[in-house]
Chains A and B, each alone.
Chain A
Amino acid sequence: MTEDLSRSTVTTQEQVIDEEKRREAERTFRAAPQLSKSPLHGLWALTNRDLVKWYKNPIQLVISLVQPVVWLGLFGSAFNLGNFVPKTEFEATFGATNYISYLGAGMLAFIILFTAAFSGMSVVWDRRFGFMNKALSTPVGRGSIVVGKIMQSTIRSLIQAAIVLVIAVVLSMDTTHFGVLTVGGSFVMLFLMSFGLSSLFVMLALRSSDWQTQMAIINLLNLPLLFASNAMLPVAIMPGWLQSVVRYNPVSYAVDGVRQMLLGSASITNYSVLAPLWVDFGVLVVFAALLSILGIILSWRLLTK
Chain B
Amino acid sequence: MSQQAIVKVQGLTKVFGQLKAVDGVSFEVEEGEIFGFLGPNGAGKTTTINMLTTLLRASGGTATIDGLDIHKHPNEVRRTVGVVPQEYTADEDLTGIQNIILCADLYGLPRSNSKPHAVELLKLVGLEDAAERKVSTYSGGMRRRLELASGLINYPKLLFLDEPTLGLDVQTRTAVWDYIRMLKVEYKMTLFLTTHYLEEADSLCDRIAIIDHGHIVKIGTPGELKASIGGDVIVVGVAETGPDISADIKSIPLVKDVKKTDHEYRIKSEVGEESSIQIIDLVRSRGLHVTKISLTKPTLDEAYLELTGRSIRDEETNKMDMFKQRVTMMRARR
State the A residues within 8 Å of B (CB).
1, 4-5, 7-9, 11-15, 17-18, 21-22, 24-26, 28-29, 31-38, 41-42, 44-46, 49, 52-53, 56-57, 129-131, 133-140, 304-305
Contact = CB atoms under 8 A, between A and B. Distances in A.
Given A35-B154, A139-B75, A24 B123 contact: yes
Interface string B85-127: 1011111111000100011011111100100110011011011
Contacts of B127: 11
Contacts of B92: 129
B139 A9 contact: yes
A56 B93 contact: yes
B109 A33 contact: yes
B182 A22 contact: yes
Interface string B167-179: 0000110110011
Contacts of B165: none
Interface in B64-94: 75, 78-79, 83, 85, 87-94
Contact of A22 (B130, B155, B186): B186
B137 interface: yes
Contacts of A12: 139, 141-142, 171-172, 175
Interface in B144-198: 150, 152, 154-155, 171-172, 174-175, 178-179, 182, 186-187
8 contacts: A4-B133, A12-B141, A22-B182, A26-B187, A137-B55, A138-B106, A140-B107, A304-B56
A53 B83 contact: no
Nearest to B128: A21
Interface residues of B, number: 57
Contacts of B178: 15, 17
Nearest to B139: A8
A134 B85 contact: yes
Interface of B: 53-57, 75, 78-79, 83, 85, 87-94, 98, 102-103, 105-110, 113, 116-117, 120-121, 123-124, 126-127, 129-130, 133, 137-139, 141-142, 150, 152, 154-155, 171-172, 174-175, 178-179, 182, 186-187
A304 B107 CA distance: 18
B175 to A, nearest CB: 3
A133 B89 contact: yes
A57 B141 CA distance: 27
Contacts of B150: 134
A37 B142 CA distance: 32
Given A36-B108, A134-B150, A28 B137 contact: no
Contacts of B172: 12, 15
Nearest to B124: A25
Given A49-B94, A53-B93, A304-B54, A134 B155 contact: no
B107 A17 contact: no
B155 A32 contact: yes
Contact of B109 (A35, A56, A137): A35
A17 B142 CA distance: 14
B120 A28 contact: yes
A-B residue pairs, 8 tightest by C-beta:
A36-B108, A45-B105, A15-B175, A8-B139, A32-B155, A130-B89, A134-B89, A138-B106
A36 B110 contact: yes
Contact of A11 (B78, B83, B105, B139): B139
A298 to B, nearest CB: 16
Given A12-B139, A32-B155, A140-B106, 15 more contacts: A4-B133, A4-B137, A9-B139, A11-B130, A15-B172, A15-B174, A24-B123, A29-B152, A31-B113, A34-B110, A35-B79, A53-B91, A57-B93, A137-B55, A138-B78
Contacts of B155: 29, 32
A139 B171 contact: no
B228 to A, nearest CB: 34
A271 B142 CA distance: 65
Nearest to A46: B106
Given A134-B85, A139-B78, A304-B56, A38 B108 contact: yes
Contact of B120 (A8, A29, A57, A136): A29
Residue from the set B106, B117, B121 with the largest chain A CB neighbour count within 10 Å: B106
Contact of A131 (B83, B91, B117, B121): B91
Contacts of B113: 31, 33
B102 A15 contact: no
B85 A130 contact: yes
Given A33-B109, A138-B103, A53 B94 contact: yes
Contacts of B105: 41-42, 44-45
